Structure 1
């Protein structure tokens, strides 16, 4: 799912955070609150794994991009059947999600596939940043 495709989802939230350790907690808490406001039960089987995936993506930004990308952006969107989110930073490195064999991105890929979701890395038009998009069925 690309940012433009989020326009088709009626519920959306954008959060810009400093690329610091506190961003992980803030992104997770914001996503929990947004899902609750959108009527998704915290007991829904996708919510826990989705929050873990989100935390892993933000953690990777905090660990690997702060010198180049002092801010990161979290985009959240949903409708009755879909929860989609992206984490954007301005570091040019494009990680391979499905080639990861250990660590955070391996967890992201494994959980996303287990939930019948999709994951994609989308470079910025100028090649100096990227978004990692996760789409999960609800």
Structure 2
């Protein structure tokens, strides 16, 4: 009998309601998924950054959001948070500044290996679909 080894690539998606507890649920989901796949080296940073993006979705929109974790074949982990607002925040498009707001997004810039965002009008998302902010980490 042969042994089946789990795939190095996987994806989890979670739809979160517009609720102040959504960031906590996102953190627990990240911890369970990454821990279950032995990705302990990036767990703390991914948990923090995913929580920041979900918190921003709650604070700046009135609708639900979605969290997606994707392990890529080259060892990278991609995390995306979709929400209903088409506005991609400035820290994803400009260098960090000293503003009071946007500190969580500057954490993404500091700890992620790459990041970005797409909004309506982009070729990636259909018109009216909101935006997707994402980041990637290695390890």
Confirm or deny a common fold (TM above 0.5).
Answer: yes
Measured after TM superposition, the shift of residue 98 of structure 1 is 4.9
- What is residue 52 of structure 2 aligned with on the other side? 56
The structure having more radius of gyration, on CA atoms, is 2
**8 Å Cα contact 1:12/1:76 also seen in 2:** yes
Consecutive unaligned residues in structure 1, runs of 5 or more? 1-8
Measured after TM superposition, the shift of residue 39 of structure 1 is 2.1
C-alpha distance in structure 2 between counterparts of 1:85 and 1:78, whole Å: 9
Consecutive unaligned residues in structure 2, runs of 5 or more? 1-7, 120-124
Alignment of 1:33 onto 2:26: no
Number of residue equivalences: 120
Alignment map for 1:1-138 (pairs within 5 Å): 10-41=9-40, 44=41, 46-66=42-62, 70-79=63-72, 81-96=75-90, 97-99=92-94, 100-101=96-97, 102=99, 103-112=103-112, 117-123=113-119, 124-138=125-139
CA RMSD of aligned residues (A): 1.7
C-alpha distance in structure 2 between counterparts of 1:88 and 1:40, whole Å: 23
**8 Å Cα contact 1:15/1:73 also seen in 2:** yes
TM-score of the pair, normalised by structure 1? 0.79
C-alpha distance in structure 1 between counterparts of 2:53 and 2:116, whole Å: 12
